[in-house]
Amino acid sequence: MRDQQAAAPGSPAPVVATKFAPLPWRLTSASVVEACKASLGRLGLPSMGLYMQHWPGYGPGYFFNDNYLDGLADCKDRGLCQAVGVSNFSAARVRGATQRLAVRGVPLASNQVQYSLLYRAPETNGVMEACRENGVTLVAYSPLCQGLLTGKYTATGVKPSGPRQLVYGERRLREVAPVLDVLRAVAEERGKSMTQVSLNWVICKGALPIPGAKNERQLGEIAGALGWRLSEGEVAELDAVSARVPAGQGFPVENW
């Protein structure tokens, strides 16, 4: 990790981000600080760019959510991170977290939630609006819907394997086919890949996509989503077709 800190001349330095989970034994703000220090030790870093709460506390952890936010503020105050964020927070939780952190003079930098052409719940459940109102960056995880939006899976061809096949079976692949058809047409007209168009759509929506890359080729393809923008007409066309597809499965705690 130390070797990766040195960026090539003229290129931006990498920003390291990680999360803590509100596990049953983490009940205090001090436990958040200790988790942050442990992560920094494993990373071999004195500080990180962004430290996040992985999901809101629920069950017994419900009663300690304020402590988790206080712990994030403590991490920022101690210089263990440059910014703090949350993940899978509802609109109400985004507003509440923003207010509590503001008392400490710490802005809420981000809320990481599932968001893609095939999962647009943040647009309708108030999360995107709450983020915009409070200057919080909406970070979109699974922006390619675990590979569905790359075009590599079809109802009549290659299908997902492993755990993904339980969620994205033949029925779901048939449901999303109209979206993939329009996505493919836009990509061909643009001279881009379906992956690049899918990611650029997220960017055009004002969110920050965080796709996964397994190799250098995939990383290069992802980078090709930057430096250009879909037209308003293309975004509207993709919006319209995706709105007719049943919503995908979300993370239950995002509504708590």
pLDDT number for residue 3 = 40
pLDDT number for residue 158 = 74
- CATH code of 17-145+196-227, in short, is 3.20.20.100
pLDDT number for residue 167 = 65
> Cα–Cα distance between 138 and 130 in angstroms, integer?
10
Average pLDDT over residues 59-68: 89
pLDDT number for residue 12 = 80
pLDDT number for residue 41 = 98
Residue 6 has pLDDT above 90, yes or no: no
Output the average pLDDT for the chain. 91
Considering only CA atoms, which of 115, 142, 83 is closest in space to residue 204? 115
Q: What digits encode the pLDDT tens for the residues 94-135?
A: 999 999 999 999 999 999 999 999 999 999 999 999 999 999
pLDDT number for residue 103 = 98
DSSP 196: H
Per 3-state DSSP, the chain is made up of helix, strand and coil in percentages (nearest 5) of 50, 15, 40
Give residue limits of the domains in the chain.
Answer: 17-145+196-227
DSSP 8: P
Going from the C-alpha of 40 to that of each of 16, 29, 33, 44, the distances in angstroms are: 10, 17, 11, 6
pLDDT number for residue 2 = 39
Give the chain's largest Cα–Cα span.
55
pLDDT number for residue 250 = 78
pLDDT number for residue 34 = 97
pLDDT number for residue 76 = 98
